[in-house]
Amino acid sequence: MAYDKFKILSTTAVPLPIENVDTDQIIPARFLKATERKGFGDNLFRDWRYHPDNTPKEQFVLNNPIYKGKILVGGKNFGSGSSREHAAWAIYDYGFRCVVSSFFADIFRGNCMNIGVLPVQVSPEFLIKIFEAIEVDPNTEFEVNLPEQTFTIKSTGEKESFEINDYKKENLLNGFDDIDYLLNIKNEIESFAKGTPL
Amino acid sequence: MKKTLFDKVWDSHVVKKVLNGPDVLFIDRHLVHEVTSPVAFLGLKNRNIKVLYPERTFATADHNTPTINQHLPVKDPLSANQLKALEQNAKEHQIPYWGLGHEKNGIVHVIGPENGITLPGATIVCGDSHTSTHGAFGAIAFGIGTSEVEMVLASQCIMQPKPKSMRITINGTLNSAVTPKDVALYIISKLSTSGATGYFVEYAGDVFRQMSMEGRMTVCNLSIEMGARGGMIAPDKKTFDYIKDREFTPKGLDWDKAMNYWNTLYTDDNSVFDHEVTFNGEDIEPMITYGTNPGMGIGISGGIPKSDAIKGGAATYKKSLQYMNFEEGDNMLGKEIDFVFLGSCTNGRIEDFRAFASLVKGRRKANNVTAWLVPGSHKVEDAIKKEGLLDILNEAGFELREPGCSACLAMNDDKIPAGKYAVSTSNRNFEGRQGPGARTLLASPLVAAAAAVTGRVTDPRELMIFETA
C-alpha cells in the first residue's frame, strides 16, 4: 500500500515514558476485526485512553492537549508482543510518522518501515534528554532527518544519528514498498522455486 | 565452513541478497488466518495480481471464532464478516481453507504440525507472532506483519535482514511437575521480554532432547516472548516419527529424499553463535507470572520481587503491580483466582490436556472457579475423547469447549471480566490481553489444574503422588 514519502520531519513530540509498551496496548485485539485498513487511529491506545464507558482518561497523554506532534516517543522495548501490523496502522492513522525509543521489538520495527512510519532508535541517554526537553517545554521541536539519518532536539541543537539500511532508507524516501521490488524479480523467484519442492 | 542449524536453513532459502539491505527469503509454507490476512488480499486485488503459489498457503479460522455452538452462524457481525472474507479469498485464490466445523480446523500453530504442513528445514511464516512454534521441527518459522503476508501471497518471498544467532543450552534433568512451559517461562524470566530481540534462537541440550514434540512446540512458541524472531530445535528421531505419514508430509521416495536432507540439519561442532546462554535443568521449578509481561515470572514458591531488585524502570514495574493489584514481596501461593484457561497455541495440545486431566482426576473443580478448556484443534478434541480424558474432566466438573484461540487474546466472547484473576496456559499476560481489565497469571497446565481444583494459586506438587525410586 502506498504511503507518504519520508524526508525531513520537523515537529513537536508526544511523550510516553513507559517501558515494554506492547502491541496489545497500542491496539487491543478486539479492534482487529476490520477487513480494510481504516479507522485504526481512533482505537490507538484504546484502554489507556478511554474508560470502559468510552469517556476519555484525562491523565493519558493523548488526551492532554498540550502534547501534540507527529513523533511518538516511547520507553525501552517499544512494540513487543503480537505481530499485528494494525499497531503500526493505528500509529500512522492517528497522525504519527515517527516513533522514537531506545529499543524496538523486531516485528513492530519492520511493520513500521513497511507502512511508512520511521522507527528511530536512540541511545538510552539521548532518550532521557528527549523526555526532559518535552517536560521542560511541550512545544519543543525535533527534527528527524532521514537523508542525514539524524535526530535533533532543535532547542539545544543536540543530535544523534540513527541506523537504517540503505535499501529501507531508499524505500522510505521514495514511498516504495517491498512488493514493488519483489514483483520486479519475479523471474528469479520462479526459477528459485523450481529447485524447492513443496 | 562450520554452520549452525539456523544458517543451513536460512542460507538455503536466500533467493537474492540486496546490497546494504535485506535478504530475499523464499518461503516454503505460509499459513493464514482471518485477522491478519484480509488487508493483504485486498492489496493483491488493488494491484490486480493473483497468489503466485496457492498450493504453498493454507488457511484456517481461529482467532475470533466462538468456542461454543460453532454449528450456528457467528453472532458478532464483524467477526462473521472477517470469516466470510477469508473463505471468499481462499476460494478466489484456490487456497485450502479449513473453516469452522471443518475436521482439520483449529489454531493455526496446532494444525500446521498435526497435518504435516510443518517440516524440518522449511521456512514457514504466518501473520501471527507465535509462528515460532513450528521451529520445534527444525524449521525457520516466524511471525510477520500484514504487508509481509501480502508479499508472500504475491511472490512467495519476504525481505528481511538475517537475524543474529543465539543458543540456549539447558542440560540436566527436570524436576517433577516441571513442564516445557515452566522451562520457557524460566528462560524468559532470566532474559526478559527483550533479551533475545534481534536473535534467532536454537535450543540445545538434554532437556530439549528429552522433550516430546508437543513440549518442544510449547518452548519454541514462547521464543517471541523474549523478543526472539523465532526458536528452533534440531530434528531427531522424535521429529521424524511425529511427522511421518501425516497428510502433507512427503511420501515414498520423496520421504527418503527429504530424510537425506533432514539428517544434515544440525549445528556443526565448533560453530560460533553471536550469543550463548546456559541454564541447569535442575534449577527450574513450576513457574507463574505475577505482572503484565511474560518476563515477570517466578518459581511458584517464591515472592514477588521488590522494585529495587528489578532491572529497568521502577515506574513501569509499579504500574504493572498496580494493574495486578499485587504488592511487592507478596507470595503467589494461596492467592485466590477466578478463572482457569487451558488452551491456546502454547498449551492446547493433547499432552496439555493429559497433564491437566492427570491432576484433576478424582477431584472437583473449585466452586469459585470458572474454567474454560479449549482444545487447539478438532484433532486434539477427538484425541481427548478417544483417550477417555473427557470423562475424567466431566467427572471433575469441567466441560470442553470447541477449538480456537479463545481467551488467549479474547477476540471472541471468551473474555475474562475486569479485575478478575485467570490462571492461563496461554502466552501473554499483557494488560487487557484476556479482556479489558483482566488479570492474567501465566502458568503450565499442571499449575492451572491445581488452581482449578483449589480455587487459588497452588503448587501442583502438593497434589501429585510421586513414585518413589
Mean pLDDT on A146-169: 97
Give me the pLDDT at residue B466, please.
65
- The pLDDT score that the predictor gives to residue B469 is 44
The span from the CA of B348 to the CA of B405, in Å, is 9
Contacts of A85 in chain B (CB under 8 A): 36, 39, 127, 145-147
- Helices marked H in B146-236: 146-155, 180-191, 206-209, 213-221
The pLDDT tens digits of the residues spanning A109-139 come to: 999 999 999 999 999 999 999 999 999 999 9
Cell numbers found for residue B457? 494459586
CA distance readout (Å), B234 to A114, B180, B213, B231, B263 = 32, 16, 11, 10, 9
pLDDT at position A198 over 90: no
Contact B147 A80 (CB under 8 A): no
d(CA B385, CA B373): 13
Q: What pLDDT score does B20 carry?
A: 93
Structure-block grid coordinates of residue B43: 492489496
A109 shares contact with chain B (CB less than 8 Å): no
The HSE-up count of residue B200 (CA atoms within 13 Å, CB side) is: 26
Between positions 288 and 317 of B, the ones with CB within 8 A of A are 293, 312-313, 315-316
Q: Is A188 on the interface with B (CB under 8 A)?
A: yes
Q: Does B56 touch chain A (CB under 8 A)?
A: yes
At residue B6, the pLDDT reads 98
Is residue A7 over pLDDT 90?
yes
Cα distance between residue B429 and residue B225, in whole Å: 11
Q: pLDDT band for position A195 (50/70/90)?
A: confident
* B198 neighbourhood in chain A, CB within 8 Å: 106
Strand partners for A143: A10, A152
Residues B42 and A185 sit within 8 Å (Cβ to Cβ): no
What is the full DSSP assignment across B249-309?
Answer: S--HHHHHHHHHHHTT-SPPTT---SEEEEEEGGG---EEE-SSSTT-EEETTSBPPPGGG
Q: Which chain B residue has its CA at the smallest distance from A22's CA?
A: B430
A197 confidence band (pLDDT: 50, 70, 90): confident
Q: What residues in B contact A104, CB-CB < 8 Å? A: 197
Contact A188 B418 (CB under 8 A): no
Please report the pLDDT score of residue A3 as a whole number: 80
A191 → chain B, closest CA residue: B15
Residue of A19, A60, A83 to mutate when probing chain B, most B C-beta within 10 A: A83
Chain A residues with CB under 8 Å of B16 CB are 185, 188
Dihedral pair phi/psi, residue B130, rounded to 5°: -85, 15
Measuring CA to CA, which residue among B196, B228, B198 is closest to residue B132? Answer: B228
Instruction: Supply the ipTM of this predicted assembly.
Output: 0.96
State the average pLDDT for chain B: 97
The pairing of strands B29-32 and A13-16 is unpaired
Is residue B277 exposed (0-12), middle (13-18) or buried (19+ Cβ within 10 Å)? Answer: middle
Nearest to A24 among B161, B163, B432 (CB): B432
Query: Closest Cα to residue A106, out of A81, A72, A125?
Result: A81
Residues of chain A found within 8 Å of residue B254, distances taken between Cβ atoms: 197
Question: What b/e string do you get for A87-118 counting C-beta neighbours within 10 Å, with b at 16 or more?
Answer: bbbbbbbbebbbbbbbbbbbbbbbbbbbbbbb
Mean pLDDT per 10-residue interval, chain B, length 469 residues: 96 96 98 97 97 98 96 95 97 97 97 98 98 98 98 98 98 97 98 97 98 98 98 98 97 96 97 98 98 98 92 88 97 98 98 98 98 98 98 98 98 97 98 98 98 98 74
The count of other CB atoms within 10 Å of the CB of residue B363 is 16
SS3 B381: helix
Is there a contact between A30 and A49 (Cβ–Cβ < 8 Å)?
no
Cell numbers representing residue B119 in the block: 517440516
Identify residue B237 by its one-letter amino acid code.
K
- Ramachandran area for residue A103 (φ above 0: left; ψ -120 to 50: alpha; else beta): beta
What percentage of residues in chain A have a pLDDT greater than 90? Answer: 96
CA separation for the pair B424, B359 (Å, rounded) = 16
